[in-house]
Amino acid sequence: MMPKRASFLSVGVSLAALAVIGAVIAAPVPASRNLCALDARPQAGDPRASAPWEAPPEWAEKKNPFPSDAKSLEAGKAVYTKQCTVCHGFKGKGDGPAAPGLSPSPGDLSDPIMWKQTDGTLYWKITEGRKPMPSYKNILTDEQRWHVVNYLRTFAPKPKPSP
Ligand code: HEC
């Protein structure tokens, strides 16, 4: 008789212990949800997500001194592959290995909408950067930045001029 009662008791005790452990494990869940919310990408309406990033007009008007020939594209590709793929991905889709942690996201350089921006604007953005994208003013030469602009253009199909 005695051993049976004892085992009933110990089952009861372990159930109680499980309940306590369960409560402890369950408790932090809402808190960690909140932390996730802090990490989330900017939502629509977030000023960081919607703040326009525009180049000063004198830069937007600058012409690319390098034609988009094989030599320029080769130089641009070398720079891009080394410096930019970690965030922008190999095809500019914004899917590099570091991209999921970035806010705002690196966007999609292969979207034809990129053609609405001039070479000068893209050059200026690469030169200046904007957090979390670094400035390439002191990392790349002037020429390398123009070559990489030519290379970026190969990601996005050029829209046909509207009739
Ligand atoms: C650390 C990650 C990171 C690296 C490395 C990086 N970028 Fe970016 N890039 C971003 C992010 C994030 C944005 C969006 C910034 C914003 O909108 O405020 C961006 C934006 C851009 C834009 C503007 C896109 C648009 O729609 O106007 C261009 C062009 C660009 N990057 C080119 C490059 C090039 C070229 C390189 C390499 C020389 C590079 N980036 C390296 C993260 C990065």
Please give the C-alpha separations between residue 136 and each of 10, 39, 114, 130, 144, in angstroms, as whole numbers. 67, 26, 20, 10, 10
Residue 163 pLDDT: 79
Q: Tell me if 75 is assigned to some domain.
A: yes
Same domain assignment for residues 82 and 147: yes
pTM: 0.76
Q: Tell me if 113 is assigned to some domain.
A: yes
Same domain assignment for residues 25 and 91: no
d(CA 144, CA 151): 10
Same domain assignment for residues 92 and 62: yes
Q: Tell me if 77 is assigned to some domain.
A: yes
CATH number for position 101: 1.10.760.10
| 82 Cα: distance to centroid of ligand 1 (angstroms) | 14
d(CA 159, CA 156): 9
| 16 Cα: distance to centroid of ligand 1 (angstroms) | 55
Q: Give the pLDDT confidence of 33-81 residue by residue, as tens digits.
A: 444 344 444 444 445 555 889 999 999 999 999 999 999 999 999 999 9
148 lines ligand 1 (CB under 6 A): yes
Q: What residues make up the domain containing 149?
A: 53-153
Give the pLDDT band (50/70/90) at residue 5: low
